[in-house]
Structure 1
Amino acid sequence: MVEKNADLHMHSTASDGGYTPSELMKKCHDNGLTHVSLTDHDTVNGVKEAIQAGQALGMTVIPGIEFSTKVSGKSVHILGYGIDWQDQSLLDMLELQREQRRKRLDVILSKLKKVGIELEAADVLEFVDGGSIGRPHVAKALVKKGHVRDIAEAFELYLAEGKPCYVSKEKEMSPEEAIEWIHRTGGLAVVAHPVYYDLDEIIEELVQTKQLDGIEIYHRDHPEDVVAHYEHLTAEWESKYGRQLLKTGGSDFHHEDYGRNREPLGVTRLQTSLAIELIDQLQQR
């Protein structure tokens, strides 16, 4: 029987997840996971706590991050594994991004006011655990103040792209810039949930130029035909460009009550051997 005890995509309260890094690691352990990575959006603030908590529980925790980038008008997320999360230049850059998210919050609050919802920054910041401010934090505040029933409704009515209070980020880096930061800090770069983008040609270019190190093939939103598609493409690109690509995956867990994320932690499990392969490649860098 093939062991599937790895989940390399999850979020904590350091970004837009619902559990602290320690709580999340406890949930991982209780779900039988042995190899995990905390990949919070545009922050590494939860990595230290996750590593310490995970190690205490006998798990292998790979430091990670999920960068928000934009290409061809579409948001594309790039996962970074094994980065030096204490690199000062990385921390400085992420701090600038946090400042941009804080400004974005003010615009969201202004838009909410225009639709008759009074919400203060303090109401939102109550849910931010020192990391990046995200729309789920706004959603939590809306729930607490009684404006919506749950987080899913907050997104459906106000915060999702195309809804009246959605605000895009002021400036988003390109995939190439994100990959450069990941490599500069000793990590490996993987495109997250490619089914979201319909940008296979652009992903292939990143593979061809030896920038991208892998593809997140296994994800909760990848049905069997999509998995088969990216397994085929990955094999094709490996043969075509003469290089090995990482094949990663995870549940992209935030919280059981987060809208479309109403899936249990570890719902998408990666073969443990593939997680170990990632670790081996990191050690060779």
Structure 2
Amino acid sequence: MTPQRFRGPADLHLHSQNSDGTESPAVVMDAAHAHGIRTASLTDHDTTSGWAEAAGRARELGMTFIPGMEMSAKYGGRSVHVLSYLIDPEDADLGAMIARVRESREKRVSVMVERIGVDYDLTWADVVAKTTDGATVGRPHIADALIARGIVADRTEAFADILHPRSDYYVSLFAPDPLTAVSLVVGAGGVPIIAHPAGRAGLLPVDLLERLVEAGLAGFEVGHRENREPGLTRLGELVAAHDLIVTGSSDYHGAGKPNLPGENTTSDDMVQRIIDRATGSAPVYA
């Protein structure tokens, strides 16, 4: 193990307006620092576009920045999110898959807006106005456009009704299966961690989790407000059996969610294991 060059506490799951957060990458680092975080990772959905801004601000604040991304995957119709730390952002195979996912996201949002526009005063221009250059467009941007139009009060209401998977307006998203996603992250020199693995949708089948570990899955985000029993107990057994990495994070989205930086954190030894395992990119130290 290499000597530790960073300081804790560490929050390794933060989102900016480059995906579905509400703040710029720099402001996300400001928020993390204000809540006592000293090592942080920006993990926007299917994009690394915020890395440079976040890393620059983290250095100014005396923080360590861990480059990250939250990669979309799907299993049996449910979303699986793979936190991908210290990947090579220029890796061709991973880049091609991310481009395909992002293209699917944009097409999906376009079709959903078209459907919603039949019944509500909403246009594609309204949604574009809620995104930034290079952002991964998604349902949260539709929600923000609906809020701006006065159709819903907040994102919670939007997702509970108009944007819900059971809604007639809903369109599914293309994403790779978890095995493919994990393999691509590993191939890009990164460290894959399943986000909120025991959340609302429940734990993935244990035999699949075992196969993911064989494919290079490094561990699980055990510390997350959405995780529940009995999934947490089973995860603990898998972690012990395979000596996996365990992280804890906030999943901060600015005003998009109530989650606050530092409400869950990752221990120094687990952060160091992520750094030691990665070959795709390097942390940015203060």
Deviation at 1:231, TM superposition (A): 2.2
Show the 5 A alignment for 1:82-121.
Answer: 82-87=86-91, 90-114=94-118, 116-121=119-124
Gaps of 5+ in 1: 239-243
- The 8 Å contact of residues 189 and 280 in structure 2, kept in 1 or not, is answered as no
TM-score (norm: length of structure 2):
0.87
Structure 2 residue 17 is matched with structure 1 residue 21:
no
Q: Which runs of 5 or more residues in structure 2 are unaligned?
A: 1-6, 282-286
Contact 1:7 1:266 in 2 (8 A): yes
Please tell me whether the aligned partners of residues 196 and 227 of structure 2 are also in contact (alpha carbons under 8 angstroms).
yes
- The separation in 1 between residues aligned to 2:198 and 2:8, in whole angstroms, is 22
- The AA in structure 2 aligned to 1:162 is R
Which residue number in structure 2 is paired with residue 190 of structure 1?
A: 193
1:150 paired with 2:154, answer yes
Give yes or no for the alignment of 1:266 onto 2:266.
Answer: no
Contact 1:63 1:85 in 2 (8 A): no
Compared with structure 1, are the counterparts of its residues 176 and 53 closer, same or farther at alpha carbon in structure 2 (3 Å cutoff)? same
Instruction: Tell whether 2:218 aligns with 1:218.
Output: no
Paired with 1:229 and 1:56, the residues of 2 have a C-alpha distance of 41
Quote the RMSD (CA, aligned, Å).
2.2
Question: Letter of the aligned partner of 1:176 in structure 2?
Answer: L
User: How many equivalent residue pairs?
Assistant: 271
Superimposed CA distance per residue, residues 48-76 of structure 1 (whole angstroms, 9 cap, x where no aligned partner): 21111112211111111111111223211
Query: In the alignment, residue 217 of structure 2 is paired with which amino acid?
Result: L
In structure 2, C-alpha distance between the alignment counterparts of 1:246 and 1:50, rounded to whole Å = 24
Matched residue SS, 1:147 = coil
Post-superposition Cα deviations, 1:189-242, rounded to whole Å, max 9, x if no partner, equal 1111111342141112212x242111111112125765444223310x32xxxx
Q: Distance in 1 between matches of 2:152 and 2:232?
A: 35
- Match for residue 172 of structure 2? 168
| Structure 1 runs, 4 residues or longer, greater than 3 Å off | 86-93, 223-229
Match of 1:246 in 2: 245
More helix by share: 1
Q: 82-91 vs 195-204, which deviates more?
A: 82-91
The C-alpha deviation readout for 1:29-61, integer Å capped at 9, x for no partner, is: 111101111111111111121111112211111
Partner AA of 1:251 in structure 2: S
**2:180 is the counterpart of 1:177:** yes
Which of 191, 200, 204 pairs up with 1:199? 204
CA distance in 2, matches of 1:90, 1:233: 27
Identity percentage of aligned residues: 37
Change (3 A) 1:139 1:71: same
Distance (Å, rounded) in 2 between the aligned partners of 1:54 and 1:182: 24
